[in-house]
Amino acid sequence: MSISTPSISSATVVVGIGASAGGVEALSGFFDHGRFDAALLDVNVAFVIAMHLSAHRESQLPEILSRRTTLRVLRAEQDMPIETGTIYVITPGQVLSVKDKKLQLSPINVIERLPSAVDRLFNSLAEDYAENAIGVVLSGTGADGALGLKAIKERGGLTIAQGEDGSVPMFSGMPRSAMATGVVDLQLPVEDIATRLSSLIASMENASGSGLTKSDALNDGIRQEICALLQIQVGHDFSGYKSNTFFRRVQRRMQVLQIESLDSYLDCLKHTPTEVTLLFHDLLISVTSFFRDSAAFAMLEQQIVPLLFEGKSENDEVRVWVPGCATGEEAYSLGMLLLEHAQRLGRKSPDIRVFASDIDGRALAIARKGRYPSVLLEGVTAERRGNFFVEDRRYFTVQKSLREIVTFSDHNALRDPPFSRIDLVSCRNLLIYLAAEFQDRILPILHYALRPEGFLFVGVAEGATRHSTLFTPISREHRVFRRLPSATPHAPAPLLAKGLGPTIPRHFETGWNDMSSKSLRTQIEARILTAHAPPYVLVNGQGDALFYSGRTGNFLEFAPGAPSKNLLNNARKELRLLLRRGLHEAVETQLLVHLPEAAVHSDEGQRRIQISIEPFDQDNAPLYLVLFHDHGAVTTPPDLPFRGDSQNTEQLQHELHDAREQLQSTYEEFETAIEELRVSNEELMSVNEELQSSNEELETSKEELQSVNEEMQTINTEMSHHVAALDQSNADLRGLLESTRIATVFLDKDLAIRSFTPAATEIFTLIPTDRGRLITDLSHQLSDVNMLESLQTALMKGKPAEISVSRKDSQRHYLMSLLPYGAADERGGVVMTFVDITPLAEADARHKTMIGELNHRVRNMLAVVSAMATQTLQSANTDGSLDHFLDRLHSMARTYKLLTETDWSYMSLSELFREELSVIGSPNRYVLTGPPVKLLPREALALGMVVHELATNALKHGALSNDEGMVAVSWKLMESPNAAIAVRWQEKGGPTVVPATRRGFGSILIERQLAYELDGKSVLDFTPDGLIVSLDIPRLAQAALNKGSTP
């Protein structure tokens, strides 16, 4: 492997890379020399690669990558430390993870149907490196890596997926699944990832080293502006988020966008609404899983859950609320515990309702589906998986019995009215993200939602000890608290119902805490000194007291029990109705309200009290100043219908007092009923939203089913067309085979019969039920043929073969063709066809008979002519003319003999020369050179006479007339339009050649024979060294083709 200068320092940033099919090509592009080394060679980073590798084959990935980069490339080993400048590659057959900055290997779980090696690596990186972890998903099939990226983003890390706008992934399943989760920060072509990583890691190192450069006051101002943008666009207030957590999320978005200052990022938010949404989703990332903190859930199961059912009948309800439920794992975990306990009771148990709420719509959509990958169910026992889930490949879907008891709702615990009459609130890992003032707001809300003796279950890093008047700990170790029954704060809901007036802001406490107590007192006293002198109380629109003046004891009377800040609860009974009506009017009109006098019992006796309520704005927070005017003692009971004696007066006063008490009680009961109705209305709205969501899901499922049904109908129609076309083709083929009357048998590779035509029954004893039998098991009518050997040879060689065969009775003759097909396919075999060639065989026999008879008659005719010539011309043979004539006849006879041996099909040119020259000389007297040439019978007869004349002349007058001369004959095929044969006859070593003074019969015969029979020509050159004859002989076949006639 190629190794750069080694470094012993641990890597600050670790990049986990996941890939599957097509991953080698993607990794090669990622670690390309030119881009990768230039971008990341000097960055403090390490790379850990997880792929789906078979345990039965050694991977060459380390060697491949070492040729692409100068960084160290190592195969992962157990407890290997992660060092900077190193690439670690997963070992085949192992699952790779990280713990305590060291690599951990474990064998692949063979039970898993689909691999999750990438998810496991990413989850461990998130746990070990948190915001210094980077996850990259490259080419691959399936969805491995998607959940791991979610874990990395939950811990503040960066997530990247290979995009499709550059060098597209060979298989896009894994990158698309990662994008579908909505947690991918960047989607880049593989060739651009290294360069972008370099800038991201550099910004991470700068951020960790320098932190925020602005002052806390300026940063807090920018934070408030960002929170305002979030509230305007998404409708949620993040001003109560912990400052460090808030800025850590903001800084992560700045790193992704490569923005260096908060001012620039704020400007980006103002001009880019989509970035506001992305920041909102980043702030909402939460960590959840099934039965997280198993010891705490075990304690719940054993100690708390039985108490929830205690004293409840089948007409009652066990109600659980899970605020901040994220993707629903915690809500389903609690539901499983409740259902299991209900089953153990063995009787009719109370109904079970689990309310799960969150402000993240995407997370709620996942929760409502209730479909989770197997890797997320590691904390669920096999028994619970079987009881509460339905397995679908590597996914598990919540069963109907569990899904029906859990209701998911889009609900803001800080803004919306809480659920009521709750037995258990599980608010885990929500408080840790909230500042102290927001925790002080939400815990009373949770207290109000609980029944008396209800339970609060929070995360391991959370608690309720700061609110000891509301909750008492049951288990400090597992963070379980019980609601104190003596504490009865009023519902933290708006005073005004919807539609009756303006919405009352809920951030009064923040406004109050931000105000200086001394400054506020100075402003109030200045106003009172100029316009009023009576005692006063500063309240908000809900009636909660923010500031008391002195001398309010005659007007206020604190109720027994837990303290309350609400002025309506602390006012004397005679003033409560007036205060409620006056505050309502002041809130609605934002005008000064004067209330009529009322008689109030005090330590000084009955006093005439008149109340004024005046709006008082402070930092845009609407507050109200309640002033108490003491007009002195009551001398005459006001508003008496008549005057009478003291006894009647006292009785009327008692009746009036009782009526007021009854009215006050009735009003309080009415208000309580209204509050319960409002809460019930909110619950019904949540149920309605859930039903609407379910209806939309059903509509979507219906549309999908309709779409699938239409596709199936289309496919079915196409299949019907294909089947009809196949049937038509099969019928046409069957008709073709039957009409040709060619015996055809289809055999498989084992020589078993697949099909046959009716004509095959004339050769083999076949019946329809013989399909599937071996062809060698059947008898046939052929003679002298080894059927098994022929078929096996054809199959083995994979080449067609043809064999002429005959019936045993010799009445019919066939050309048997063996055609193998589909050699690489199990459906292959061999086709046997038998073409009846009986007419051809009989015609061939007749042809041979005729040729034999013709040859016999020609030989006899030549013998007769020779005998007649001898008898007739013997006495006149004074000049050798008879001998010349007989020689020419014998030459013709020899040519006929050669043609007869080839059935008058063709004659070899070399054999023609050899036959003529061998008669007049030994083989060492002549040399023949030239390519093989086959002559037609007509060409052979004509050329034979020419060669005979040349040979006779050489024997008498030329090179063969002595013992030293030789004849060299050569020929070649000319590339001419007539494809002529060029023959060169050259004599050497003979007597000196003297040019002839006259033309003899031989030269005339050569010239005319060639010209007449072969359309050729000859050239005679009488050189002193010997005669040279050049013959130009056009081929008859080509000449006939040029002339358009048959040779």
Q: Which residues are catalytic?
A: 20, 52, 144
Whole-angstrom Cα distance, residue 579 to residue 88?
73
- Residue 559, sorted as left (phi over 0), alpha (psi -120 to 50) or beta, turns out to be beta
- Burial class, 615, CB count within 10 angstroms (exposed 0-12 / middle 13-18 / buried 19+): middle
Residue 830 pairs in a beta bridge with: 747, 820
Whole-angstrom Cα distance, residue 927 to residue 914?
9
Whole-angstrom Cα distance, residue 26 to residue 162?
9
Q: What is the DSSP letter of 767?
A: -
The distance from CA 844 to its chain's CA centroid, rounded to whole angstroms, is 70
CB within 8 Å of 876: residues ≥ 6 apart: 882
Report which residue type is found at 180.
A
What are the C-alpha distances in Å from 206 to residues 199, 209, 261, 282? 11, 5, 12, 21
Whole-angstrom Cα distance, residue 250 to residue 123?
23
Instruction: Say if strands 605-618 and 621-633 run parallel, antiparallel, or are unpaired.
Output: antiparallel
Tokens 């003033």, residue?
Answer: 575
DSSP 157-171: -EEEEE-SSSS--SS
Instruction: Say if strands 813-821 and 801-807 run parallel, antiparallel, or are unpaired.
Output: antiparallel
Whole-angstrom Cα distance, residue 696 to residue 704?
12
> Largest Cα–Cα distance in the chain?
203
Whole-angstrom Cα distance, residue 288 to residue 712?
40
139: number of Cβ within 10 Å: 25
Whole-angstrom Cα distance, residue 494 to residue 497?
7
Tokens 């609130």, residue?
Answer: 425
The distance from CA 816 to its chain's CA centroid, rounded to whole angstroms, is 54
Shortest CA distance to 290 belongs to which of 377, 356, 230? 377
Whole-angstrom Cα distance, residue 163 to residue 140?
12
Residue 398 tokens, joined: 């919540």
CA end-to-end distance (rounded Å), the chain: 76
Tokens 């298989």, residue?
Answer: 171
Whole-angstrom Cα distance, residue 693 to residue 603?
60
What are the C-alpha distances in Å from 356 to residues 241, 285, 447, 1045? 21, 17, 17, 100
DSSP 849-909: HHHHHHHHHHHHHHHHHHHHHHHHHSTT-SSSHHHHHHHHHHHHHHHHHHHHHTTTS-EEH
CB within 8 Å of 840: residues ≥ 6 apart: 813
Q: In what order do the strands lie in the sheet with 926-929?
A: 926-929, 966-973, 981-988, 1026-1033, 1017-1023
- φ and ψ at residue 627, rounded to 5 degrees: -110, 135
Contact 332, 326 (CB under 8 A): no
What are the C-alpha distances in Å from 124 to residues 86, 96, 129, 142, 756? 18, 9, 8, 20, 66
Residue 650 tokens, joined: 């006292």
Report which residue type is found at 27.
L
Q: Indicate the SS3 state at residue 314.
A: coil
Whole-angstrom Cα distance, residue 388 to residue 337?
11
